[in-house]
């Protein structure tokens, strides 16, 4: 098992799964001839099938090991039924939810929600809802008419959308102009500190807030947009919108620290919008209009995200007035964007000019800097300089090495062993 096991064994065992997972000892006695530290050490020498077998020995081993091999759940639709799979983020260990159904709500740190039919969660009666919910999902959502568990360890929500090919966003059976009026009942009631948006169609960004309660983002510290090359619009339009301030009312969030945009190239190579017209390729002018709009909407929404400062009213329960958010914007993998999107036609034909990642990233950064002059007037030069200092460009490798991929990608997606 090697490194996979050692990462699990690095934390002290707990006594009966408690929310903070930090105090207590696994019980010993007739059920276990081993003290907790020996159970911990065992994990360094066991393969995953053996760990699963050890989980089933008795409650002592279960309580000492269970939460270390499950930390997230995946909710998706299969054959008209809402399914749930429990797994571990690092080792991609898939466990039958029945193995951890008793303590599953306490174990979950991350919830992944994939596209599903709205009729499965918004039926006319509770009986139909129960018919569409798998026994696995029951462990997380509870029986009919009962509120969802609090999920005390929950921190990260990942929302997977249909991309530009599917206009249905998260609810696959909603008409294109009505889907944003229906909130998703699968979102945990506890507010997350990180939200990751994967493959959300650009046209739907301004409707995202309606998928969640109005105050769902008030604890948000980090938001990440993963932008794939197939999210450029429908029917031949180049929709480059990246709207960071998407929550209800566009209100400033005092806890938000980081906004990240990742230009995702899952197979490597250049990031180039996929054509949605009958033509084989985008024209150079069309690509440049996409690039220009993408930069402008990204920068304008970052300005909105960073201010102006909210009114000096008091936050309920605290004596301090609200502070203006000091959000940092990180643009990841910009150097992968094809020069065809921003270079002059004559320059595109010079492969040596764009041979290095840094040369391409510098070109995107220069274009982003140029946009400041058109989005903020000269009278706000100080504001512009202040905001520019909170923007950084990093490569995908640098971002991964910083550990920022956690809560955004699976290990295998960023070239780590899963």
**Confidence (pLDDT) at 143:** 58
Whether 309 and 408 map to the same domain: the answer is: yes
**Where residue 311 falls among pLDDT bands split at 50, 70, 90?**
very low
Assigned domain for 162 exists: yes
Helices and strands (H, E) in the chain, number of each type: 13, 10
Q: Is residue 10 part of a domain?
A: yes
E-only strand ranges, 309-402: 328-332, 391-394
Residue span of the structural domain in which 200 resides: 155-414
Question: Of 51, 64, 61, 54, nearest to 25 (Cα)?
Answer: 64
Co-location of 55 and 202 in the same domain = no
Residues 160 and 57 in one domain: no
Nearest Cα to Cα of residue 183 among 111, 121, 138: 121
Question: Would you say residue 84 lies in a domain?
Answer: no
Rounded to an integer, what distance in angstroms lies between the CA atom of residue 285 and that of residue 392? 27
* pLDDT level of residue 385 (50, 70, 90 thresholds): confident
Q: Report, in angstroms and rounded to the nearest whole number, the Rg of the chain calculated over CA atoms.
A: 24
pLDDT band at 416 (very low <50, low <70, confident <90, very high): confident
Residue 99 is assigned to a structural domain of this protein:
no
* Highest mean pLDDT of the ranges 37-46, 112-121, 230-239: 112-121
pLDDT for 12 beyond 60:
no
Query: Do 175 and 285 sit in the same domain of this protein?
Result: yes
Report, as an integer, the average pLDDT of 68-88.
Answer: 85
Q: Who contacts 384 (Cβ-Cβ below 8 Å, separation ≥6)?
A: 372, 376
What is the per-residue pLDDT for 80? Answer: 84
What are 88-103's pLDDT values in tens digits? Answer: 876 666 777 666 676 7
Range from 63-67, 104-108, 208-212, 389-393 that averages highest in pLDDT: 389-393
Looking at the structure, tell me whether residues 52 and 164 fall in a common domain: no
Are the CB atoms for 302 and 391 separated by under 8 Å?
yes
> Residue 330's pLDDT is what?
97
Please answer whether residues 371 and 377 qualify as being in contact, where contact means their C-beta atoms are separated by less than 8 angstroms: no
- Give me the number of domains the chain comprises: 2
**223-278 pLDDT, tens per residue?**
999 988 765 555 444 456 788 888 755 566 788 999 999 999 887 788 887 765 54
For residue 122, give the nearest of 61, 187, 182, 166 by alpha carbon: 182
Find the range with the poorest average confidence among 61-70, 144-153, 371-380: 144-153
Reply yes or no on whether the pLDDT at 25 is more than 50: no
The answer on 206 and 304 residing in a single domain is yes
| DSSP letter, residue 234 | S
Q: What are phi and psi of 9, to 5 degrees?
A: -80, 0
More confident: 47 or 4 = 47
| Least-confidence region, from 11-20, 128-137, 152-161, 211-220 | 11-20
Does the structure show a pLDDT above 90 at 319?
no
pLDDT of residue 362: 96
**Residue 160 shares a structural domain with residue 27:** no
Q: Quick check: is 136 in a domain? A: no
Residue 138, domain member (yes or no): no
351, part of any domain:
yes
Of the candidate ranges 56-60, 143-147, 196-200, the one whose mean pLDDT is the lowest: 143-147
Same domain, 331 and 191: yes
62 and 176 inside one domain? no
Q: pLDDT over 70 for what percent of the chain?
A: 69
User: Is the residue at 135 inside a domain?
Assistant: no
Angle at the Cα of 107 from the Cα atoms of 106 and 111, rounded to 5 degrees: 105
Q: Is residue 6 scored above 70 in pLDDT?
A: no
The predicted pLDDT at position 151 comes to 84
**Predicted local distance difference test score (pLDDT) of residue 403:** 93
Split at pLDDT 50, 70, 90, the class of 216 is confident
User: 162 and 57 in one domain?
Assistant: no
Domain end residue (candidates: 22, 40, 69): 69
Summarize pLDDT for 332-365 with one digit per residue, the tens: 999 999 898 898 888 877 878 888 999 999 999 9
Mark which of 28, 54, 69 sits at the end of a domain: 69
- pLDDT of 92 reads 65
Same domain, 35 and 167: no
Q: Which residue has the higher pLDDT, 144 or 79?
A: 79
Neighbouring C-beta atoms of residue 345, cutoff 10 Å: 10
Residues 352 and 222 in one domain: yes
Among 24, 50, 69, the domain boundary falls at: 69
Per-residue confidence band for 376, with pLDDT thresholds at 50, 70 and 90: confident
Q: What is the pLDDT of residue 126?
A: 56
Q: What is the pLDDT of residue 366?
A: 94
């Amino acid at each position: 098992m090697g490194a996979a096991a050692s990462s699990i064994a690095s934390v002290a065992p707990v006594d009966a799964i408690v929310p903070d997972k930090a105090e207590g000892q696994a019980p010993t006695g007739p059920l276990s001839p081993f003290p907790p530290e020996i159970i911990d050490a065992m994990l360094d020498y066991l393969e995953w099938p053996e760990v699963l077998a050890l989980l089933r020995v008795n409650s002592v081993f279960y309580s000492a090991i269970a939460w270390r091999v499950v930390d997230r759940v995946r909710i998706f639709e299969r054959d008209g039924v809402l399914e749930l799979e429990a797994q571990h983020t690092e080792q991609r260990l898939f466990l039958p939810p029945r193995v951890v159904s008793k303590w599953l709500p306490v174990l979950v740190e991350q919830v992944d929600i994939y596209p599903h039919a709205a009729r499965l969660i918004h039926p006319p009666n509770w009986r139909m809802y129960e018919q569409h919910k798998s026994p696995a999902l029951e462990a997380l959502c509870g029986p009919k008419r009962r509120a969802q568990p609090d999920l005390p360890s929950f921190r990260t929500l990942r929302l997977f959308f249909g991309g530009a090919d599917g206009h249905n966003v998260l609810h696959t059976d909603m008409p294109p102009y009505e889907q944003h009026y229906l909130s998703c009942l699968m979102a945990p009631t506890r507010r997350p500190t990180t939200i990751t948006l994967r493959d959300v169609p650009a046209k739907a960004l301004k409707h995202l807030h309606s998928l969640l309660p109005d105050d769902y983002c008030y604890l948000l510290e980090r938001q990440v947009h993963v932008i794939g090359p197939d999210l450029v619009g429908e029917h031949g339009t180049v929709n480059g919108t990246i709207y960071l301030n998407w929550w209800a009312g566009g209100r400033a969030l005092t806890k938000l620290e980081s906004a990240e945009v990742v230009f995702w190239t899952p197979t490597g190579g250049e990031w180039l919008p996929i054509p949605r017209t009958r033509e084989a390729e985008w024209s150079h002018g069309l690509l440049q209009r996409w690039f220009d709009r993408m930069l402008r909407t990204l920068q304008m929404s970052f300005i909105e995200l960073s201010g102006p400062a909210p009114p000096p009213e008091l936050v309920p329960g605290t004596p301090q007035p609200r502070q203006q958010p000091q959000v940092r914007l990180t643009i990841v993998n910009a150097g992968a964007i094809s020069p065809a999107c921003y270079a002059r036609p004559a320059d595109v034909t010079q492969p040596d000019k764009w041979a290095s990642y840094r040369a391409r990233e510098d070109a995107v950064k220069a274009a982003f800097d140029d946009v400041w002059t058109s989005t903020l007037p000269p009278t706000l030069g100080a504001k512009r300089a202040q905001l520019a200092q909170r923007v950084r460009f990093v490569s995908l490798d640098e971002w991964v090495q910083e550990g920022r991929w956690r809560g955004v990608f699976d290990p295998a997606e960023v070239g780590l062993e899963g």
